Amino acid sequence: MSRSADLSQRGKLTWYGDADFSTFMRRAFAKGMGLTDQDLEKPVIGIANSWSELNHCNSHLREVAAAVKRGVLQEGGIPLEFPTISLGELFISPTSMFLRNLMAMDTEEMIRAQPIDGVVLLAGCDKTTPAQLMGAVSADVPAVMVTGGPMLTGRWRGRDLGACTDCRRLWTEYRAGNLNQDEISEVEGLLFRSHGHCTVMGTASSMASVAEALGMTLPNNAAIPAPDSARLRHAEDAGRRIVHMIEEGLRPSMIVTRASIENAIRVLCAIAGSTNGIVHLLAIARRAGIPLDLADFDRISRESPLLANVKPSGDYQMAELFEAGGISAVMKELLPQLNAEAMTVTGKTVGENLAGTPGTLRDDVIARVDKPFDTEGGLSVLYGNLAPDGAVIKHAAATPALLQHTGRAVVFTSLEDMARRVHDPDLDVTPQDVLVLQNAGPIGGPGMPEAGMIPIPKKLLEQGIRDMVRISDARMSGTAFGTVVLHIAPEAAVGGPLLAVRDGDLVELDVSGRRITLHVAEEEIARRVAESGLPERDPQLRRGYGWLHAEHVTQANHGCDFDFAWSIA
Ligand code: FES
């Protein structure tokens, strides 16, 4: 029994220099909320809730929290819900990634500071899941995560709408003149049918899957649809389970290990998950003190079969993945390659959890391991003189013919420059060119906005072009697609070689050789970088959180966490 922080004991007291007074005051304030002497003797379960009306994807989490509370009460705990920062992808400027680390710090410090014996983490939208995992790993108090689940699949004119893969696809058709204003307005009203996160294997679905593969959720968490009553029953189970985790002293440091991180990477590759999952897993691993680098992702991706046929790289959505058995079925199929001895929040190992689980229930959605959709996972890591510290591509969502390609660079020096010129009819660009975006990385963005899927210039859209090679130091939404090289490190804003690319240079992409090359002499690259100088820092980044971010955020190959947040063990 590892309890130390309940409301009647002396753990985590407010400092007044008189422990008895602090205890008396805490009990008095707790009673002021209607708690009784009996309640004060019970283990306290914090429910870290990222519910917000400014975050569509998490807008149902109060109902989920109520289900967690039922479970906690059934097992003799006291549930106390508290808010954390919430990051809704479409409601945050400049980009939610800029604030992920702030949410991770909020989560960590509130878990650490408050008198709670264990915590249930409620997350959903893209950054809320990794931020809570990062915070929980650093706080290392017994923790179980419940994600919000995907929303209902939208329909338009007899076709499924994948949020948000089809948001992008249909917007591109609107830009190309193939959809009119009335039609795009109709789509706008049909894309999001319920609460919950995006319906495809975007970052939210990928990170929910990663959390399950890490062992930080109960089995079957990731794919249960948000409006499904099974989501509430799952949450109640998690509420029951956390009380016993406290009794067992089962903490994140016993669950998030090298073995479980490798399991999570393997699942991410097998589902062709979001490239953002790479950044977040690097950050989680560093907080857990686990050595991990981009080469681990490339090795595991090469070894892992592609098992999920889910958009943006496949045909289906999370609803069908749920019918096919969810992430448990993916893990059952992958079991021979997983670290089966890895511990999970159930108090059992991955292998024990999966013992009674069937494999795939629909092999058109989740392939059997002996008949995968591809023999390799969906992610590749590239190196070369353009990306000495690495870059990534989700080749499963790319155009196969473009995976080996050399083209002339068309350079945009910033997001503003891109927005101003990309659709200019006078832009000198052909379908064979390589679109290059600079200064959109962790510092240059700031926060690495999801701008890596550079829009295809309108004049090429009108010619029927739908994909080109695009490279940047930005990220890309997990729901996006195309031949898009991302996360180039070091980024342009710190003097990475990406800064040296000029219009007309030849850029070579060689995914099978895992290379990205700028065909310019090394001395010329160095000369251009020196000549360019580093961009002046935006006034918003000279004080407050912006300053902290600019001073301490790490590059993409390290997970973009703050350097001071890494484990010091
Ligand atoms: Fe929240 Fe897609 S916008 S998950």
34: in domain: yes
119: in domain: yes
Burial class (CB in 10 A: 0-12, 13-18, 19+), 164: buried
Domain of 95, CATH number, reads 3.40.50.2300
Confidence class for position 123, pLDDT limits 50, 70, 90: very high
Same domain, 230 and 275: yes
- What number does the ligand 1 atom closest to the CA of 164 have? 2
The residue whose CA is least distant from atom 1 of ligand 1 is: 125
Same domain, 349 and 391: no
Looking at residue 140, what is its pLDDT?
Answer: 97
361: in domain: no
- 245 CA distance to ligand 1 middle (Å): 30
Average pLDDT, whole number, for the chain?
Answer: 95
Same domain, 232 and 83: yes
Rounded to an integer, what distance in angstroms lies between the CA atom of residue 156 and that of residue 127? 29
Supply angle C-alpha 260, 261, 266, rounded to 5: 95
Contact 392, 514 (CB under 8 A): no
Same domain, 166 and 312: no
Same domain, 389 and 515: yes
Rounded to an integer, what distance in angstroms lies between the CA atom of residue 560 and that of residue 552? 9
Same domain, 119 and 268: yes
pLDDT in tens, 301-339: 999 999 999 999 999 999 999 999 999 999 999 999 999
> DSSP assignment of 451-486, as one string?
--SPPPPHHHHTTT----EEEESS---TT--SSEEE
Give the residues across from 47 on adjacent strands. 81, 120
Query: Which stretch of 136-140, 148-152, 171-175, 180-184 has the lowest confidence by average pLDDT?
Result: 171-175
Rounded to an integer, what distance in angstroms lies between the CA atom of residue 371 and that of residue 35? 57
408: in domain: yes
Pocket of ligand 1, beta carbon within 6 A: 57, 89-90, 125-126, 164, 197-198, 202, 204
Single pTM value for the model: 0.96
Rounded to an integer, what distance in angstroms lies between the CA atom of residue 292 and that of residue 287? 11
* CB-based contacts of 464, cutoff 8 Å, min separation 6: none
Same domain, 51 and 122: yes
Supply angle C-alpha 125, 116, 118, rounded to 5: 60
Average pLDDT over residues 478-497: 95
Task: Kindly tell me if the per-residue pLDDT of 47 is higher than 90.
Answer: yes
Find how far residue 164's CA is from the centre of its chain. 15
Rounded to an integer, what distance in angstroms lies between the CA atom of residue 343 and that of residue 353? 10
The residue whose CA is least distant from atom 2 of ligand 1 is: 198
Confidence class for position 191, pLDDT limits 50, 70, 90: very high
Domain of 436, CATH number, reads 3.50.30.80
Contact 301, 294 (CB under 8 A): no
Same domain, 172 and 50: no
Confidence class for position 9, pLDDT limits 50, 70, 90: low
Looking at residue 86, what is its pLDDT?
Answer: 98
* CB-based contacts of 96, cutoff 8 Å, min separation 6: 87, 88, 89, 125, 126, 127, 447
Looking at residue 569, what is its pLDDT?
Answer: 55
Task: Kindly tell me if the per-residue pLDDT of 3 is higher than 50.
Answer: no
Question: Which amino acid, 57?
Answer: C
Contact 218, 346 (CB under 8 A): yes
Same domain, 37 and 140: no
Domains of the chain: total: 4
The residue count of the chain comes to 569
485: in domain: yes
83: in domain: yes
354, 372, 407: which is the final residue of a domain? 354
- 333 CA distance to ligand 1 middle (Å): 28
**What share of the chain has pLDDT > 70, as a percent?**
98
Mapping DSSP to helix (H, G, I), strand (E, B) and coil, where does residue 547 land? Answer: helix
Rounded to an integer, what distance in angstroms lies between the CA atom of residue 482 and that of residue 478? 11
- 450 CA distance to ligand 1 middle (Å): 12
562: in domain: no
Rounded to an integer, what distance in angstroms lies between the CA atom of residue 57 and that of residue 149? 9
Same domain, 386 and 454: yes
Tell me which residue range forms the domain holding 22.
1-41
311: in domain: yes
pLDDT in tens, 233-254: 999 999 999 999 999 999 999 9
Task: Kindly tell me if the per-residue pLDDT of 67 is higher than 70.
Answer: yes
- 204 CA distance to ligand 1 middle (Å): 6
Burial class (CB in 10 A: 0-12, 13-18, 19+), 545: middle
Contact 272, 379 (CB under 8 A): yes
* CB-based contacts of 379, cutoff 8 Å, min separation 6: 268, 269, 272, 273, 275, 278, 297, 298, 301, 392, 393, 394, 395, 396
- 151 CA distance to ligand 1 middle (Å): 10
> DSSP assignment of 264-292, as one string?
HHHHHHHTT--THHHHHHHHHHHHTT---
Same domain, 60 and 10: no
- What number does the ligand 1 atom closest to the CA of 126 have? 4
Mapping DSSP to helix (H, G, I), strand (E, B) and coil, where does residue 384 land? Answer: strand
Residue of 89, 209, 210, 274 with the most ligand 1 atoms within 8 Å of its CB, for mutation? 89
Same domain, 449 and 400: yes
